[in-house]
A and B are shown apart, each in its own frame.
Chain A
Amino acid sequence: MTLPAVLVLFLFTLGPALYAFFLSLFSWSLLNKMHYVGLSNFAFIFASHLFWTAVWNTASFAFIVVPTQTLVALFIAVLLNQNLPARGFLRLAFFFPAVSSSAVISIIFMWIYNKFGILNGLLAVVGIHGPNWLANPLFALKSIMIMNIWTTSGYFMVVFLSGLQAIPQNIYDAAEMDGANSWQRFSRITVPLLKPTTFFVVIMGVIGTLQMFDQSFILSGGTGGPLHSTTTLVLLIYQYIFSYGKVGYGAAVTVILFAFTMIATLIVNRWLGKSIEY
């Protein structure tokens, strides 16, 4: 009964992961004959400036986006968990971007970030002369970060909301009886009891941001520009196959990306994963 599922999962998830290790030891352009080169693909990658730029871009993307989206999501969820009018509507409004297509959202933001777009139009009202966001290496990646936070916060908000609703109300009532103010109730009850949810949100955030591709690809027209400022590791993998025809290099970056993801997950696990007992 599990056979079809196991077959497909093996063919398109586990198998590829193993296959990447194998391919990273070969030199191959998809068209010529493969030949074994040992670890020299890795030597090339580690000596390549472009690779380190991609590592820097991917890491800073994760470092800024994950904490911000987690805090924004938690903030909105806590507010939404109050007894407020139009809760259903508000939840819907925050969640909707997360179910829309990343391609469509990227196109919409490309238009918003345009030099003569609505963002600069709004900034002009308060007297700020906005840059050409996506064509400026200083701002391009930051623009994608903002877009990404805008898209995913609402999704993680719903995750937090379901975590919040699992906390029994009588704990809050008891704390209030004992004279705890609302900040104390938040920091002493909500935050510790939400830890499993926070763990999940951070892990999914880390995994998601380290694999960022669609937004960079679309907003930079596939180049990772300007000046490689939006080249992420996955975009680099894509370019190694489709622009440079270097399967071995791409596979080596894939293997390195696995390692990074694993290390990041372990760190998060160390930090948030332990004390789930309460």
Chain B
Amino acid sequence: MRIKENFTVLVTLLLLLLSSQVTPAYSQNDLNDESEKIGQSDESKVVIKTDLQDKHYRQALYFYFQDDQSQALSQVEQSKAKLTTLDSRSALFEAGLQLSVGLLQQAKTTLVNFDSLLTTEKQSGKRSEQSAKAGELRLIALLSLSNQYLSHGDTSQARDTLARIESVSSTYYQEYHVLNQLAYWPDNSSVLIAKPAAQANASSPYIQLNEALRLIELSEYDLAITALTTIKITTWHQEQDNFWKRLFLDEASFSSRSDEKEMAVLQGQAIQDYAQLLLAQIYISQERYDLAFSELKVFPEQSPYAESALFLFAFASQQVDQYEIAFNLLNLLYKKYPYSQLSWQSTELMAQQVSEQLSLAQGVSAYQTVESFFLQRQQDLAQFSTAFDYSSNLLDFSPSKQLSSEHQLTQQSHHTPGQTRDYLPQSVWLQQALYDAELASLYQGLSSIDEQTEQLQALSDKTVWLAEIITLNQQRKKNIIAAQETRAKQDVFAQLKDERDRLAELLGQQLANKQGSAFANAEESQWLDRIASSNNALTNIGDKKNTEEYKQRLGRVKGVLSWQLAEQYPQRAWQHKKQLQQLDHAIAGVITQQQQVVKISNTQDSLELSIKKHDQSVQQVKLLLTQLSQLREQLSVKIREKVRLYIDEQGAVLAEHLLSTRQGMAKVLERMAREDKRLSNKLAPSAKLAVPEKVSAIAGAH
């Protein structure tokens, strides 16, 4: 019995069979090597189910912390599809991301569902770390929802939502207070709001500013002045914020902490500047020009409110007879901000001041300068109007250089921006027009459409790639089925199994008989054969010859060989048992793979489903591209309407200013004529007709 040889042949056959199995993986980058290696991992595993909700949430966080909100949202959406549902924390995160990418309606729906999700989690007895924070999450959801209602002007819904808040932690108290102020504006909401759970800082600059604005609106100026004075002299520190606050309530995100600190300092200064500006405004409305003058005298030059402060300061200076300061300020204002309406007013004020404070001739000259300034603006406006009308793609019209270079950098680094790029035009007219929130929002919509179109193009490319993969899979499946059928016909696997069973039986018998010769190697077998043939030969000779010595010698050889075989027996028996085990293991592997192949062969439905899904996606891409293109057209029409309206308004304002400048100039000329007439009557009565002629000549020129 050559058990060992038989085993070797069988293992080789099995390995051949294994390698002929079709790889069940579909990918091109799978690892095909060494899978047949058999090993054992001794590591013991404690079976505790992984918190997949947490793992998926953190995968989205990875993108969020890189400021890639849209990718983070995609990740959350994918997680939702894989996990079927999201836990409260992920749902809240989803809502925050939806808000940041402009999906307000979806965010609102998510937040409305959030409350019920929390209740469900509570009922199901989930006591995870997340649900311990359920109260905080609920508060954030309600605050965000109120914010949404307020942004849509639905104050009653906002009030109802805020009323559902029973207690507020100190961290969120400021947001809560501000939202209350806005929901009940201009009524005093302080009696309606919940008290903070702990010591909360109610002296937030925004709360104070809102309160001061409310007092101004109610004409309670003394109280407003006190409040604004406090804001003005207080040094505002950066508010401590946490992750959720940043996600929902902050628009800006900063690349570094130093940027964040710098911005906090600037914001603190801007709050103080704004309070100062409001104070000056109250003083001017109360005709307390000296106070307004001293307030604005120390107004910082580098402030976001510099233009308004400059104008107010010039006006107050005029009222307190500081004409030189007023003149310089007005002059500065119109040169620095030539396209602003405040500057247009200041030019008229300046010409008026010159004609009143200096000579009439200088007044006429100032009016002429102002007139040419307005004519120049009108010309600019007309040029802008024509260029704008001729622009085919509104986002390509007068793009800012900074934006273009940033865009190029973005393209180079293949960075996917999280939020919609803002359109920043180079044209000052358009920059000013974009102060209109509706127009800005329309432009943002346009940018957003372009981004969505880009994304859809990428998805369209993906559908092409997926079509190729589907074709390859179909081909593979065919090959698998064909190979399977061939193997089934040849019945190789069944033959191998039979052979294994036969060998196992044989081994069992040999082990039971405990015959040392059963596991003899080739040389030993040869020796055994020779001994047997020698024995036969001796038996045949019988008594014919004296063979006693031969028999003894043969007995000795046989004894030695038997002793050797007996010595080797346990080791060889163990080797054969081990080989049988290995064979069984290999057979088990083959069975699993065969089952896998059968599974793949029977998954025709899933591939057909994939094909169906793919076809639907292709149709969907086409449909969405068409819809986006139509929407872009509609938005462009709307933007053109709005910009036309803006141009007309600016044209009308300029015309009004031009007219009033000419009227002012005519008045000065009239005064000049009267003066000249009076003077000429005094000095030379014969020349009395000359002055009116001069006046009409100057007036005719305009």
Q: Do A and B bind each other?
A: no
Chain B residues near A (Cβ < 8 Å)? none
